[in-house]
Structure 1
Amino acid sequence: MNKKLKTILGIGTALFLVVVAVVYVKFFSSNTKFSKEELFVEVPTGSTYEDVKKIISPYVENMSGFEMMAGLRKYDENVKSGRFLLQKGMGNFKLVAAMRRNVPVKLAFNNQERLENLCVRISSQIEPDTTKLLATFRDSVFLKQNGFTKDNVIAMFIPNSYEFYWNVSAGKFRDKMLKEYQNFWTKERLQKAENLGMTPVQVITLASIVHKETVKKSERPVVAKVYLNRLEQGMPLQADPTVIYALKSRDNDFDQVIKRVLYDDLLISSPYNTYVNQGLPPGPIAMPDIDAIDAVLSPDDNDYIYFCASVEKFGYHEFASTYAQHQVNAKKYADWLNTTGTKR
């Protein structure tokens, strides 16, 4: 091989290595500028390529490099909405790939007292806002077709963990929740509800009261039976949690904490006041846990009619079959409350 050919080959090799280096830098070397190991970016429905560049620009070191890769891979012509995971050290090739991979949200909700609170909770995790979710859940056609009302549609939401894409529509989210509700009500659960002479919504409404009365899983079937006994005997439920719900609703303040129900509170005019209204309230006063629902469906076997908080086993209750025994238990609790100075 002559000297001239060697020179040409040497120059060619050098140029090739330069090209490889440039390609590597443009395609694969780090082009991120955030300190966290990973972060999520959200691209709203209907976003354009220009919108995407504005969204990710705080996290990309060299936007021209990203734009070149986006053009080569035609991402600029096929923008996707959703939630996307960016990892520290990603190069342009991986950045573009990441912006095409919609990552699901693991959505969870529980212990919500009102549909409004539930919508706030959900909207913090997916794209539809609170107003849109609330309007979708209260759509009159949907309610009528599925046997719900504005007061009891919260019964449709079974507390659990679910997986959704961030950009799911409010309608598709609602329909998925309806399907989960229908799946929850198996033949066995439906039969148990029928044996009680109750509909699924009525079961969940009573379960919401049981849920509020006690956090102790072992006690819930006992409390559930007390209320079922009252219903069977034609007694008012006289459930303090329903009065608390009525007070919060009157004040439009569900953040307030009410530890003690006073005599005057029992007179509040509200369909949720089970001291003055017979039977169940118009809908659930909270989103009950599944074990509270199952406690109503499989209640304890007892003849208790009364119960109040225990001063000997805090967190638990004292139960009674007679009013005389209940008065003894209730006085102990009232005396204890007075010693603590609890007025409300």
Structure 2
Amino acid sequence: MIKVWITLFSLTLVIAIGAVRGLQFLNHPPSLAETHKVIEIAEGATYNSVSELLEREGLITSRIYFRLLGAWTGNEKNIKPGEYGLHTAMRPMELLDLLVRGKILHYQVVIPEGSTARQIAKLLEAAKLTEAEVFMKVVEDPTLMSEFGIEGESLEGYLFPDTYQFPKRTPPHEIVRRMVTQFQAAYDESLRRRADQLRMTQREVVTLASIIEKETGHPSERGLISAVFHNRLKKKMRLQSDPTVIFALTEFDGNIRKRDLGIPSPYNTYRFIGLPPGPISNPGRESLSAALYPADVDYLYFVSKNDGTHSFSKNLREHNRAVNKYQRKKA
């Protein structure tokens, strides 16, 4: 009988000690100091392997108690894969809650207005979200273009410039879909109605907007730049836009040379009348609007004043005077 009581007492003591340690495990983080760790839980990882990883990284004090916690809460199969930002001052329940809710890390990427698809690809590669060449292949994927009803050789022009948040390992197709979806939201019904009034296709609007975006970074000039191009198109004049030539060049060192103006590319608006075959950059909402709402002026020319703005002229004589004033003096 005494042996039975000793056994029961021992079991009770073990259980009590286990309960106390369990409460300590739940209520006390590994450290009061926040040592931040980034961990990645692979697709298909087991709860046990996650417990071992957390203990190894010093984020929990006991993988055994963390396993018991998972069983007690019924979350052994509910942990989401992905990359997490955790720290050593987190209690186990708080940590488990993040893993179950899938609060994975997101990486911010800022796409400036007027960026080309190639420039966007490099930004995403720098953020370690995808390889630039892989992204470019997706941008040129005819299946994806067909999904959005977009014609042409690529989705250049439809990768809307904005600030994005993407988790690690986001498929490139999903990144592109997100950007094109943002474009569709920006190119809303009011712009579509205006395009119909002007008898412009969506592609023509985006192409013109992409040139406007590249020609000026000054918001007050967008409508004036748009007016120059609209007026030239009506008069069957060449647009003679430097950014279209730059887009056509395979290499550009920052200077346009006379020989560049003669390249046979259909994007060279010094050689060919009308808009180029497609967009040369990815324009923002303001440039899309400017393409559809040109200023009510009869300008046909503009030249840089070397301060971020331009001088506008109605005829070639005025334009030549402006060139002499702002450009030849500079040379």
**Bucket of the pairwise TM-score, normalised by the shorter protein:** 0.7 to 0.9
Equivalent residue, structure 1, for 2:326: 333
1:306 corresponds to 2:308: no
CA distance in 2, matches of 1:307, 1:195: 27
What's the CA shift string for 1:156-197, capped at 9, x where partnerless?
Answer: 222234566656554455444444333333222112112332
The DSSP-based 3-state class of the residue aligned with 2:273 is: coil
The DSSP-based 3-state class of the residue aligned with 2:223 is: helix
For structure 1, the residue ranges without an aligned partner over 5 or more in a row are: 1-10, 339-344
Change (3 A) 1:14 1:144: closer
What's the CA shift string for 1:106-151, capped at 9, x where partnerless?
Answer: 6642346432432443466696655554444433233235442453
Change (3 A) 1:232 1:49: farther
Segment drifting more, 63-72 vs 266-275? 63-72
CA distance in 1, matches of 2:131, 2:41: 15
Change (3 A) 1:265 1:138: closer
CA distance in 2, matches of 1:141, 1:15: 64
CA distance in 1, matches of 2:169, 2:136: 17
Preserved contact between residue 33 and residue 88 of structure 2 (Cα < 8 Å): yes
Alignment of 1:1-344 (within 5 A): 18-19=17-18, 21-31=20-30, 35=34, 41-43=39-41, 45-49=43-47, 52=50, 57-58=56-57, 60=59, 62=61, 64=63, 65-103=65-103, 105=106, 108-111=110-113, 113-122=115-124, 130=132, 133-149=135-151, 151-162=153-164, 169-247=171-249, 250-251=250-251, 258=254, 260-310=255-305, 314-338=307-331
Change (3 A) 1:102 1:137: farther
Change (3 A) 1:316 1:178: closer
CA distance in 1, matches of 2:113, 2:48: 40
Change (3 A) 1:188 1:52: same
Segment drifting more, 68-77 vs 260-269? 68-77
Per-residue deviation, 1:100: 1.6
Change (3 A) 1:262 1:178: closer
CA distance in 1, matches of 2:45, 2:277: 42
Equivalent residue, structure 2, for 1:7: none
CA distance in 1, matches of 2:125, 2:97: 27
Preserved contact between residue 47 and residue 81 of structure 1 (Cα < 8 Å): yes
Per-residue deviation, 1:39: 6.1
Per-residue deviation, 1:89: 0.6
What's the CA shift string for 1:272-311, capped at 9, x where partnerless?
Answer: 2111122222222222121111111111011111000115
CA distance in 2, matches of 1:196, 1:115: 28
Preserved contact between residue 32 and residue 91 of structure 1 (Cα < 8 Å): no
CA distance in 1, matches of 2:53, 2:253: 40
The DSSP-based 3-state class of the residue aligned with 2:276 is: coil
Preserved contact between residue 209 and residue 284 of structure 1 (Cα < 8 Å): yes
How many residue pairs get aligned? The number is 318
Equivalent residue, structure 2, for 1:341: none
- TM (norm. structure 2) is 0.79
- TM (norm. structure 1) is 0.77
The DSSP-based 3-state class of the residue aligned with 2:274 is: coil
Per-residue deviation, 1:50: 6.8
Segment drifting more, 114-123 vs 218-227? 114-123
Amino acid at match of 1:193: A
